[in-house]
Amino acid sequence: MKTNFSLSDFDFTLPDELIAQHPAAERSASRLLDGRADTPVDRRFTELPELLLPGDLLVLNDTKVVKARLFGQKSSGGRLELLIERVLSLSPDAGHEVAAHMKVSKKPLPGAVLQMDGGFTATLLGRWPNADGPLYHFALSSDPYTLMESHGHVPLPPYITHSDSADDERRYQTVFAKNPGAVAAPTAALHFDDAVLARLQARGIQRASVTLHVGAGTFQPVKAENIADHVMHFERFEVPEATRQAIRDCKASGGRVVAVGTTCVRALESAAKFGPACRDTNIFITPGFEFEVVDLLLTNFHLPKSTLMMLVSAFAGYDHIMALYAHAIAQRYRFFSYGDAMLLQRTTA
């Protein structure tokens, strides 16, 4: 069994045509690769309720994707794009401040006032959270959430090649999204519709929620061949006390905790590892990680050499994951955010 891992260990070749550019016609119409046992089973997502047991606890991420991509121009006329990663303040007295990625040919200097499409301004204050920070610190001329809703675009992942549409605004969002703040969807949860949720409830499968605001760093490539040298991005999260109690009750009764997506895994395992006071996590889950909470994981298929490939390999076993991905490619599963799903069981090895 392999124990020492490098970045190249998590690489695989994916035909471009398997990258899903659009969602399935219906949310629950995706395929589901059942990877709990050594031999994978090809299923449909609508079979999920029958694969879980009464008393299991399904944990969902209720974050809401905001239209965080904004366009504008410098005083020189050069075009630019902002991707708001985090709203820092909502008060006019505090400057409606945000932290954002900036895409522009030549970076403006602090103090520059950017004219944004829609008639508002963004004043560059510097880097965030400090002078060496990875993001830029801006003060907007009005409430950030109102501006994003009125003038923003859906922050589709970089591998989706079309511009955002009304269909993306609807489908790149879960049916139970509640707390705004994510710039990427918790994609495993996109498969759920009201009918599947109703069948899960009728079967006696409990539900609980966490909130983890997915950041653009989820698409950040790992560049260090020694994966221990990779610095993870921070994401805001909350695990409510009601969810903590539901987990305790589930474990006490012999049920299983089923995390919907890697975002739920990050939230639940961070809360277990760092305690209830933790609200920002940069947890890096790689093979050898000791899971304390999650028993089953429903997840989409992830990018080669990504931190999420490392997470699922830690959860279900590296060799097993690589075999599942080879099977999924051979069987023409659809990959990434708008793609198909798979169900994994935590390895006991």
Mean pLDDT of the chain: 95
Single residue among 122, 151, 180 that ends a domain in this structure: 151
Q: Torsions phi, psi of 192, nearest 5? A: -80, 135
In a domain, residue 157? The reply is no
Which of the 8 DSSP states describes residue 335?
B
Task: Tally the domains of the chain.
Answer: 2
**pLDDT attached to residue 119:** 96
CB atoms near residue 118 (< 10 Å): 14
Which of the 8 DSSP states describes residue 34?
E
What ranges make up the beta strands (E) of the chain?
A: 31-34, 41-44, 57-61, 63-65, 69-73, 79-87, 97-104, 113-116, 120-128, 135-140, 179-182, 206-212, 235-238, 257-260, 280-281, 296-300, 341-345
**pLDDT attached to residue 4:** 85
Single residue among 151, 180, 195 that ends a domain in this structure: 151
**Start-to-end C-alpha separation, the chain:** 10
Examine the domain organization and report whether 119 and 83 are in the same domain. yes
The Cα 152–Cα 147 span in angstroms is 7
Q: Torsions phi, psi of 59, nearest 5? A: -110, 125
Averaged pLDDT for residues 302-319: 97
Averaged pLDDT for residues 303-331: 97
Which token pair is 343?
A: 């169900």
Burial class (CB in 10 A: 0-12, 13-18, 19+), 269: buried
In a domain, residue 46? The reply is yes
Which token pair is 102?
A: 């900036």
Single residue among 124, 151, 178 that ends a domain in this structure: 151
Examine the domain organization and report whether 81 and 33 are in the same domain. no
**pLDDT attached to residue 95:** 78
**pLDDT attached to residue 348:** 77
**pLDDT attached to residue 1:** 64
**pLDDT attached to residue 65:** 98
91-138: pLDDT as tens digits: 777 779 999 999 999 999 999 999 999 999 999 999 999 988 889 999
Which token pair is 82?
A: 């902002």
128-169: pLDDT as tens digits: 999 888 899 999 999 999 999 999 999 999 999 999 999 999
Cis peptide before 129 (omega within 30 of 0): yes
Q: Is the pLDDT of residue 62 over 70?
A: yes
Q: Domain holding 303: CATH number?
A: 3.40.1780.10
259-302: pLDDT as tens digits: 999 999 999 999 999 998 899 999 999 999 999 999 999 999 99
218-242: pLDDT as tens digits: 888 899 999 999 999 999 999 999 9
Residue in this structure with the two tokens 């695989």, named with its chain if needed: 12
Residue 28 near residue 191, CB atoms below 8 Å = yes
The Cα 136–Cα 152 span in angstroms is 18
**pLDDT attached to residue 349:** 59
Domain housing 199? 7-65+166-345
Task: Report long-range pairs for 197-201 (Cβ below 8 Å, ≥24 apart).
Answer: 199/49, 200/48, 200/49, 200/52, 200/58
Residue 193 near residue 27, CB atoms below 8 Å = yes
In a domain, residue 2? The reply is no
Which of the four pLDDT bands, split at 50, 70 and 90, describes residue 178?
A: very high
Examine the domain organization and report whether 84 and 44 are in the same domain. no
- Signed CA dihedral, 173, 176, 181, 182: sign only: negative
187-215: pLDDT as tens digits: 999 999 999 999 999 999 999 999 999 99
Examine the domain organization and report whether 190 and 258 are in the same domain. yes
Rounded alpha-carbon distances, angstroms, from residue 257 to 205, 247, 253, 344: 10, 7, 11, 12
In a domain, residue 156? The reply is no
